[in-house]
Amino acid sequence: MSDTIRLVVDGEEVEVPTGSTLLAATARAGADVPTLCHDPRLDPMGSCRMCLVEVEGQRRLQPACAYPAMEGQVVHTSTDRVERHRQVLLSMYCADHTLDADGLPAERALGNQLRAHVEAFGTGPTLPPIGTPRAGREDPNPYIHFDPDSCIACARCVRYCDEVEAVSAITLAMRGSSTTIATADQVGLLDSSCELCGGCIDTCPTGAMSEKRALGLLGADEETVRSTCNFCGVGCQLDLHVRDGEVVRVSSPPPGTTVNDGNLCVKGRFATEFINHPDRLTVPLIRGDDGELHEATWDEAIRVTAAGLMGVKERYGADALGFVSSSRCTGEENYLVQKLSRAAFGTNNCHQCAAT
């Protein structure tokens, strides 16, 4: 069997690895096929029906995220039939969600793919509101907010919790139009197996899962800064959203673009209060003869530290010293610590906390 297959997408021949989906093939061809339930980190589900495309020889439109690409297929992603399907489907979604004055799904958090699709593709006939009786509840956890009126039951959050985090803290509950996201026995997230990683927020396409601290920040003038999480030595990449010099929230880069594949832990995503905390040390402190700590320059602090270490070496020998480096430091900084230990002070008593 060949490792690759060839097919035609919108008149362009593309080559993809055997076993690829039509969504991967259309992306290779540069076609922008909209999705709602798709996340490259998750197994295909094909539940939202947003990514349906036309395959010659097939009577029905096929979900690009789940349908396999095959040798010689001819695929169309933007025919009249496909466009009509998208508009009618979006009309149905709009009938099932709270509408604002513009007739678009109201956003309750930062980012709403459903709203973006409505703006990009338009809608079909206006349908009367369904008035879905989704039950809402307050959860006392400090980070994650769930708005059932924004949920489209795509199950991305449930699948992420199961397939990526492997904790299965949340699930689909109820049936039919009342389907919603809940926990087993309706317990709060703090009483469940939830690790509060915030992955459900990251993968949610409509903002139904959102960060409590980010509510009401929609449209805020933010600057996005790519950075490296400093809570451990993994080196996860994250995006800091900065407004007026303060980090207001953290998001993860798109899946597949960085070493952490768009995933973060509870510390990386939510532990940002220390950045602007009034008790955070921003300058070196040196204890004076009065026993109190006083602000100093970095040069002064380094001289005092060096003098203290050399004093220990002179009195007790080099092996009386020990150097412990941090996994929060870069590889280069950790190298310099062991160089300082061995070359400058003459001891092999150096360690790195990530090795324990």
Write down the domain spans for the chain.
4-121, 220-279, 285-355
Q: What is the fold, at CATH topology level, of the domain defined by 285-355?
A: Rossmann fold (3.40.50)
> Among 171, 239, 160, which residue's Cα sits nearest to residue 197?
160
Match domain 4-121 to its CATH number in 3.40.50.880, 3.40.50.360, 3.40.50.300, 3.10.20.740: 3.10.20.740
Residue-level pLDDT at 184: 84
Looking up tokens 């920040």, which residue turns up? 217
Helix (H) or strand (E) holding 238: strand 237-243
Q: Which amino acid is at 26?
A: T
Query: Helix H segments across 139-205?
Result: 156-163, 199-203
Looking up tokens 């109820």, which residue turns up? 174
Q: What is the pLDDT of residues 277-330, one digit of tens each?
A: 999 999 999 999 999 999 999 999 999 999 999 999 999 999 999 999 987 788
Helix (H) or strand (E) holding 331: helix 331-339
Domain 220-279 - what CATH class?
Answer: mainly beta
Neighbouring residues of 325: CB distance < 8 A, sequence distance ≥ 6: 333, 334, 337, 338, 350, 351, 352, 353
Question: Between 136 and 77, whose confidence is greater?
Answer: 77
Instruction: Could you list the beta-strand ranges (E) of 24-90.
Output: 52-55, 62-63, 74-76
Q: Write down the pTM of the prediction.
A: 0.85
How confident is residue 219, by pLDDT bands cut at 50, 70 and 90? low
**Alpha-carbon span 24 to 33, nearest angstrom:** 10
Q: What is the pLDDT of residues 225-248, one digit of tens each?
A: 999 988 887 889 999 998 888 888
Is there a contact between 130 and 97 (Cβ–Cβ < 8 Å)? no
How would you classify the pairing of strands 170-173 and 62-63?
unpaired
Is there a contact between 338 and 350 (Cβ–Cβ < 8 Å)? yes
